[in-house]
Amino acid sequence: MHAHLKTLNISVAAALLISVLSISPSGATPISNDSTLSAFPNTSNVSQPLSVVELPVPTMARVLDHLAAMPVLTPRQRKVARVAELRKRIAILGRKQVGDTYRAGSSGPNAFDCSGLTRYVFKQVTGLDLPHYSGAQYKMARKISRKNAQPGDLVFYLRGSAHHVGLYLGNGKMVHAVGRGKKVRIQPIFGPWYSRHFTGLGRVLPA
């Protein structure tokens, strides 16, 4: 008798446990088999969402402090900076003409006489149209001393006049269209012939 009651109690307890497990918290039919699970997409390969990193936004005060710390150029300083950039570009373009042919009366782009070379470079870089004659370029240029010469200045030769002109590159050198039968080249401004026939240096760019 006791054994029969024990068996009955176990059966009742098992039945109650099964009934509890078969009811979901919302009262819906529980998911209890593989066929039902297969109806849902497989999310095992879905990438995890990227984490968002918030960067600090500078306050207006910090921005104003940064701007206040930046150097403010005066009009004079801006002018000096512009001219320095022009000098650099003039020297670069002048060097690019090395090896071009000498041709009387020509001012580029692939053949030059002496004043045609300086005229071409200045026109391309600055927009300034120099006269196509070395004597006229000498007249319009402001005369400067050797110690004050800078890239982009003009070098003139043949004493008492200026029948030849070169483009000063700095470090005592110039690029020029030498003469008939010769190519545009870079040479010292005071070589053997040039020292004897040196006229002076002139500046066309602003000081």
- Please tell me the distance from the alpha carbon of residue 115 to that of residue 106, in angstroms, as a whole number: 9
pLDDT digits (tens, 9 = 90+) for 95-132: 999 999 999 999 999 999 999 999 999 999 999 999 99
pLDDT of 206 reads: 87
pLDDT of 9 reads: 43
- The reply to whether 164 belongs to the active site is yes
Q: What is the CATH number of the domain that holds 142?
A: 3.90.1720.10
Identify the active-site residue in 2, 4, 163, 176: 176
User: Is the confidence at residue 33, as pLDDT, over 60?
Assistant: no
Overall domain count for the chain = 1
Is pLDDT larger for residue 167 or for residue 26? Answer: 167
User: Is the confidence at residue 156, as pLDDT, over 70?
Assistant: yes
- Please tell me the distance from the alpha carbon of residue 176 to that of residue 191, in angstroms, as a whole number: 13
Range of the domain at 107: 75-203
Identify the active-site residue in 2, 132, 163, 164: 164
Burial 118-138 (b: 16+ CB within 10 A, else e): bbbbbeebbeeebebbbeebb
Note the pTM of the prediction, 2 decimals.
Answer: 0.66
- Please tell me the distance from the alpha carbon of residue 112 to that of residue 115, in angstroms, as a whole number: 8
Task: Tell me if 99 is assigned to some domain.
Answer: yes
pLDDT digits (tens, 9 = 90+) for 168-202: 999 999 999 999 999 999 999 999 999 999 999 99
pLDDT digits (tens, 9 = 90+) for 47-90: 555 565 565 666 767 766 776 676 778 988 899 999 999 999 99
Of 67, 170, 155, the C-alpha closest to 118 is 155
Identify the active-site residue in 2, 4, 66, 114: 114
- Please tell me the distance from the alpha carbon of residue 56 to that of residue 198, in angstroms, as a whole number: 65
pLDDT of 51 reads: 61
Task: Tell me if 95 is assigned to some domain.
Answer: yes
Q: Name the token pair of 3.
A: 């054994």
What pairing do the DSSP bridges indicate for beta strands 142-144 and 198-203?
Answer: antiparallel
- 185 membership: H or E segment, kind and range: strand 184-188
Task: Tell me if 39 is assigned to some domain.
Answer: no
Burial 85-105 (b: 16+ CB within 10 A, else e): ebbebbbebbeebeebebeee
Residue range 13-36: average pLDDT?
A: 43
